[in-house]
Amino acid sequence: MIYEDRIETDLEAKAKKFQAKTFTVRDLDKDMLLTMPFDYPERKTLVEMSCDEFTCLCPFSGLPDFARIVISYVPARKLIEMKSLKYYLYAFRNLKVYNEHAVNKIMDDLKKTLSPREITVTGYFTSRGGITNKVTASYIAGKSKKAKVKSKK
């Protein structure tokens, strides 16, 4: 093999523990997401990243779901380290999770890790049975949007 002497990093090992088994989002370790300081917290800087090779498993059928994940955020004090993000997203490969839950899990984990001013995560899931699925989850610091459920009396 070409890379026989290559030493596997801790991040790779954490991501690879998900290979050849299926898991749920509760098993995913958000601690693999690493950060670095943002030197311009006074500026509103938009950071946008995308991953065209995101996959997860449908919990109903076990079939793979493929998506393009787009992450946009305005950092406050921290930036995401992109290699750690790559391995974090790679760990979804054998997770049984609905599309809507995957996007919200990614947004929640990044929100907890980065404490950004705002963040939006969008998943563009490929066609399944002739239906495509676009899921967007957003958060803006200081604006809590709790859904109000009205009961019929």
What does the pLDDT read at residue 18? 62
Catalytic site residue from 10, 31, 52, 65: 65
Q: State the Cα–Cα distance between residues 113 and 61, nearest whole angstrom.
A: 31
Q: Do residues 23 and 95 lie in contact, with contact meaning Cβ atoms separated by under 8 Å?
A: yes
Query: What's the rounded mean pLDDT across residues 92-109?
Result: 94
Q: Do residues 78 and 37 lie in contact, with contact meaning Cβ atoms separated by under 8 Å?
A: yes
With cut-offs at 50, 70 and 90, classify the pLDDT of residue 104. very high
Catalytic site residue from 5, 58, 108, 109: 58
- In a 13 Å sphere around the CA of 99, the CA atoms on its Cβ side amount to 21
Query: Is residue 148 over pLDDT 60?
Result: no
With cut-offs at 50, 70 and 90, classify the pLDDT of residue 147. very low
3-state secondary structure of 88: helix
pLDDT tens-digit readout, 17-50: 766 666 777 778 889 999 999 999 999 999 999 9
Active site annotation includes 56: no
Place of tokens 């950060």: 35
DSSP of 105-120: HHHHHHHHHH--SEEE
List the structure tokens of 41. 């917290």
Q: Domains for the chain: give ranges and CATH numbers.
A: 10-140 (3.30.1130.10)
pTM of model > 0.95? no
Q: State the Cα–Cα distance between residues 19 and 12, nearest whole angstrom.
A: 11
Query: Is residue 54 over pLDDT 60?
Result: yes
